[in-house]
Amino acid sequence: MWCNRIILRQLHRLNLSNLNGTLTTSTQRAMSTLPRVYVTRQIPPEGLRILRESGQVQFELWDSDDVPVPREELLKKVKGVDGLLCVLTEKIDTELLETAGPNLKVLSTMSVGFDHLSLEELKTRGIRVGYTPDVLTDSVAELTVALLLTTSRRLIEATHEAKTGGWGTWRTLWLCGHELANSTVGILGLGRIGVAIAERLAPFKVKKFIYTDVVPRPELASLINAEYVSFEELAEQSDFLSVCCALTPETKEICNKNLFSKMKNTAIFINTSRGGVVNQEDLYEALSTGQIAGAGLDVTVPEPLPTTHPLFTLKNCVILPHIASASYSTRNAMSSLAANNLLRGLRGEPMIKELKL
């Protein structure tokens, strides 16, 4: 939290310092001549404050945090805009970009993932794209550890038993789970979040960290003393397997029956990356047959996952509603970064965090 507060102050100072030379001129211009921006959600207050106080744009927003902007409304509002600030629930595709028209030059997404964006279309049209990595590393890592412990120590089951009268006499093997001590933790996709997860798990006396990725990442791996292994070895050796990779055509449903069939029947599978990296039918089969011991998911396909989905029937599957970055400080830091990316892009300056298309 302290780290994110520092980031927020730095972003605010950066924005004000860049505007000092132009603010007087901007405020003198008629509002109708300022770049038009549409914000697709009621983003956290820090980001909105930066946009309001910049004097650089006129913006309109979908004033709700509970309900995503309807597609028809979104298509109507993006016509002729110069900039767009969106979240991951909005699909930015050919239809939307054509509707927006040639004025759209900057898109800023309040997310670290970008699988909701048609990157090739954005590149073809010369639209710059900002995103919000790094500021959510700590909160995602914390939530991943919490989900791992909740799943492996069967806390949801235990809470249910305590509430519904299942708590009887003490029993030797009732609600036993799996410990981190002396375990091997595998990471699929080693980046900052994977490192942060391992750093938090190390004090639990984990015996070994292993990882696999497109290529070895020795600099990051050295921070947690992790060993690079093949995809098969990751499946076979991991007592706990945490998925941290981005969703790409190469990683779509990479966690399928091929992976689960090689895992230990005592293994715990955790996914806080993107739901699309998992074949959920194969995961259900692995969990329901005891092929693996348990799974904790913060992301699914679709989102929200229908309450009738078979995974909800399993005691050994913990499902959260995509809350890994849901801390006040992180979400405010994300909205600040998204707002600053947008403003810098509209000024023709380098964004703080820009996707290289």
**Burial of 226 (C-beta count, 10 Å sphere; 0-12/13-18/19+):** buried
Cis amide linkage into residue 249, ω under 30° from 0: no
Please give the distance of CA 351 from its chain centroid, rounded to a whole number: 20
Report the amino acid identity of residue 150. T
Report the amino acid identity of residue 154. R
At residue 59, the 3 state secondary structure works out as strand
User: Any catalytic annotation for residue 12?
Assistant: no
* Pick from 25, 22, 51, 23: nearest CA to 38: 51
* Pick from 306, 187, 304: nearest CA to 241: 187
**Which two three-digit tokens encode residue 340?**
């600053």
Helix (H) or strand (E) holding 37: strand 36-39
Helix (H) or strand (E) holding 295: strand 294-297
Residue pointed to by tokens 């830091």: 333
> What is the side-by-side strand order in the sheet with 184-188?
226-228, 208-212, 184-188, 240-243, 268-271, 294-297, 317-319
* Pick from 163, 142, 99, 118: nearest CA to 326: 142
| Integer Cα distance of 357 and 351 in angstroms | 13
Which among 12, 178, 309, 322 is annotated as catalytic?
322
At residue 219, the 3 state secondary structure works out as helix
In angstroms and rounded to an integer, the radius of gyration of the C-alpha atoms of the chain is 22
Report the amino acid identity of residue 347. R
| Integer Cα distance of 82 and 79 in angstroms | 9
Separation in Å, CA 10 to CA 17, 68, 212, 239, 333: 10, 30, 34, 40, 10
Catalytic positions, written as ranges: 322
